[in-house]
Amino acid sequence: MSVSVSGAAAEKNPWRSHTARICTITPETPGVRTYELELEDPVERDHYRFAAGQFNMLYLPGIGEAAISVSSDPAGRDTLAHTVRAVGNVTDALARLGPGDQVFVRGPFGTPWPVAEMLGRDVVIVAGGLGLASQRAAILFLMAERACRSVTVLHGAKRPDGLLYGREYDAWRAAGVAVHTIVNEADASWSGPVGLVTDLLTDSLRDPSATTILCCGPDPMMMGVAKAAIGRGVATRDVFLSLERNMACAVAHCGLCQFGPLFVCRDGPVLPYERIAELLRIPQV
Amino acid sequence: MSASVPTVGSWHRLDRAGLQAVIDVLWLVGHRVVGPQVADGAIVIRDLRGVAELPTGWLDDQDGGSYRLRHDPVAGTFDHVVGPHSLKNFLFPARETIASFVQLNGSWSQTPPPAQVPPLAVLGVRGCDLAALAIQDRVFLGSGYVDEPYKSRREKLFLVAVNCRRAAATCFCHSMGSGPAAGPGFDLALTEIEGGFACEVGSERGAAVLAEAVAAGASIGGCSPEEVEAARGVPQALAARMHARQQGDGEPRPRSLDTHGIRDLLMTNLEHPRWDEVAARCLSCTNCTLVCPTCFCSSVQEVADLSGDHVDRERQWASCFSLDHARMHGHSVRSSTAARYRQWLTHKFAGWIDQFDTSGCTGCGRCITWCPVGIDVTEEIAAIRASGSGAAPPDGAAPAGAPEAGETAS
């Protein structure tokens, strides 16, 4: 009998990993580091392309694999940045590695942020904590492309030391990106606003009908942002969320990441809010 | 008698010696042959050398949470139905290495996949399990990325199907459109008739194997048009009985399922109180997902040797009933049994339609039989249909665009 197979990925073994070296490790916030990885095989390095919002599976033999967003500029050709919080087996082991150490990479997987369709629009990027890691690539893409009317980054964290990529805000602002931060709990060092990232939304929605929201953070935070933005006039179809779920394969075979009828690894992680609003509303889907 | 040269679509008459010759040819040309046998109080699928090992004279009485074998001197060789095993156990094994890594001089590299196992031939495959195979094909071959281990076994698979002439109380293939007649995809299909088997050829490979058996001296003749018609009538008569019995109050209760608009029915009732009621009985034991011939979830474990220099990435069956399935940052997205049962049932009967354009259920009834507390999917869905919101009337038209599970399962 013949078993028909179609699609560009048909002949690609999804379990094939590519060896990479850690070039630099940059401490970000407590427990969070950014790893710049270089694929060792020059052919792979040359062929590798990703779009902002996609993720890689980072693998350490004998330890395991973790799905991590690619945070670098999609136009970059040398290294791939991954910002990782040490919260489990694999990420704890990554935290013990240093420059020159080996990491395996397979990817990229998943859907990108819709940043290529932002001509003339206001783009508001809303990030809760480490969520900004998935959006840094989008920010760098939009900064370089200059097709949209404005880019605003609204970044909230629990405490001031949880704000990500602080050292880059000046460069983002110099390129025309508005950056606003807010924290839940202030400390002596903090003179900015205290509250939720949704509190920053109102001032950033000057022309809601021409605004696209790109949001990444914990599910309840993203639901709050989506509802607030839609309540202020942003079209439901212009709100995009990036979800996080358990994953083993990243190619819609292992089933672990299912969210209703969606495979978050393949149909996401970036999903239009209108497609998932009802599922997000129901607990434990 | 028609010509007895086997070709695709031709029918032949085999006695037990003829079936033995087919088994011998399959081994001879390099297949591992497996088939149904009585072991450990059930009919399981394992290596098969001879027709004497087949469960001739054994019947299985199945009901919610109950499976009993019973000897009946007038029962045929294939009058049992499905046991706990299915093709899934062989094509998508419970444990399998999907990648290997070796460390040399401090540097790791990925090693090529291991040599392939010999081709497999399975005897006694029912219509529901052929349908399950077609569903797993969509999961592992038809959704973009190809699962190479599955593909290599699938391409070499030789299938000797059987047309059922008996159904257990748990069988509802007639509702899901997957049986009792063995659908497309077989190489040979057997129908038990007086004194032997009518054998339909389904593929060139099936014809070649039958021709080899003839060449080896087996007495394999043609079937008369009357015999072909009689053989075709066997599963048709069973289907008619299954449709008729669902009107009655048999004991044990014969199962059936109304699939009209089932996708929307379930997706609009994610907060139905029935989920909590079934969760009060469900042990979250994962049995239903293990015996299900289409459940495909898996996780990957790291298996290192003592030196730590050789690591196999071992894929293992996973179950949406386990807390680990949807675990993130130390907690499970679906922490309640109600949410996990809802995930399983809504995925199988609704989400699957979105994902693979087919129901995930074939009506084989294994999840009912092997559930230790006898939870019955047909009963759960009927309860939601009886009291849920947006429930389609039993014979009403499905909403436009909603595929019918029973029409696409095969």
Q: Which residue has the higher pLDDT, A9 or B174?
A: B174
Q: What pLDDT does residue B400 have?
A: 40
- Burial class of A190 by CB neighbour count within 10 A (0 to 12, 13 to 18, 19+): middle
| CATH code, A18-109 | 2.40.30.10
Closest to A202 measured CA to CA, from A172, A229, A183, A182: A229
Torsion of CA B275, B278, B279, B285, to 10 degrees: -130
pLDDT in tens, A235-254: 999 999 999 999 999 999 99
pLDDT in tens, B41-53: 999 999 999 999 9
Task: Give A17's contacts in chain B (Cβ within 8 Å).
Answer: 99, 110
pLDDT in tens, A59-106: 999 999 999 999 999 999 889 999 999 999 999 999 999 999 999 999
Return the CATH number of A115-242, one of 3.30.930.10, 3.20.20.140, 3.40.50.80, 3.40.50.2000. Answer: 3.40.50.80
Q: What pLDDT does residue B1 have?
A: 40
Q: What is the mean pLDDT of residues B345-363?
A: 98
Distance from the Cα of B69 to chain A's closest Cα (Å) equals: 35
DSSP, residue by residue, B48-97: ---GGGS-TTEEEEEETTEEEEEE-TT--SS-S---S--THHHHS-SEEE
pLDDT in tens, B212-224: 999 998 889 999 9
DSSP, residue by residue, B326-382: TEETTEESS-SHHHHHHHHHHIIIIIHHHHHSS-S-----HHHHT-TT---HHHHHH
Query: Could you tell me the two tokens for A255?
Result: 């089933």
Percent of chain B topping pLDDT 70: 94
Q: What pLDDT does residue A111 have?
A: 97
Largest Cα separation within chain B, whole Å, is 73
**Mean of all residue pLDDT scores within chain B:** 92
The answer to whether the CB atoms of A3 and B298 lie below 8 A apart is no
Distance from the Cα of A172 to chain B's closest Cα (Å) equals: 31
User: What are the φ/ψ torsions at residue B371 (nearest 5 degrees)?
Assistant: -75, 120
CA A277 to each of CA A224, A236, A237: distance values in angstroms, whole numbers, following the listed order: 11, 9, 11
pLDDT in tens, B367-395: 999 999 999 999 999 999 998 676 544 44
Of A12, A62, A285, the CB nearest to B270: A285
Task: Give B346's contacts in chain A (Cβ within 8 Å).
Answer: 260
Query: Could you tell me the two tokens for B221?
Result: 């003749």
Cα B96 to Cα B147: distance, rounded to the nearest angstrom: 12
Q: What pLDDT does residue B390 have?
A: 63
Q: What pLDDT does residue B391 have?
A: 52
Domain borders along chain B are 11-245, 262-408
User: What are the φ/ψ torsions at residue A45 (nearest 5 degrees)?
Assistant: -60, -40
Q: What pLDDT does residue A10 have?
A: 42
User: What are the φ/ψ torsions at residue B348 (nearest 5 degrees)?
Assistant: -60, -45
Closest residue of chain B to A15, computed from CA coordinates: B99
Q: What is the mean pLDDT of residues B307-332?
A: 94
Cβ atoms within 10 A of the Cβ of B167, count? 23
SS3 A9: coil
Domain borders along chain A are 18-109, 115-242
Q: What is the mean pLDDT of residues B333-347?
A: 97
Cα B346 to Cα A63: distance, rounded to the nearest angstrom: 33
User: What are the φ/ψ torsions at residue A282 (nearest 5 degrees)?
Assistant: -90, 125
Distance from the Cα of A89 to chain B's closest Cα (Å) equals: 10
Task: Give A258's contacts in chain B (Cβ within 8 Å).
Answer: 320, 343, 347, 351
Which residues of chain A have a pLDDT value below 70? Answer: 1-11
Q: Is the pLDDT of residue B101 over 50?
A: yes
Q: Is the pLDDT of residue B267 over 90?
A: yes
Q: Residue B407: which pLDDT band, with cuts at 50, 70 and 90? A: very low
Contact (CB, 8 A) for B82 and B118? no
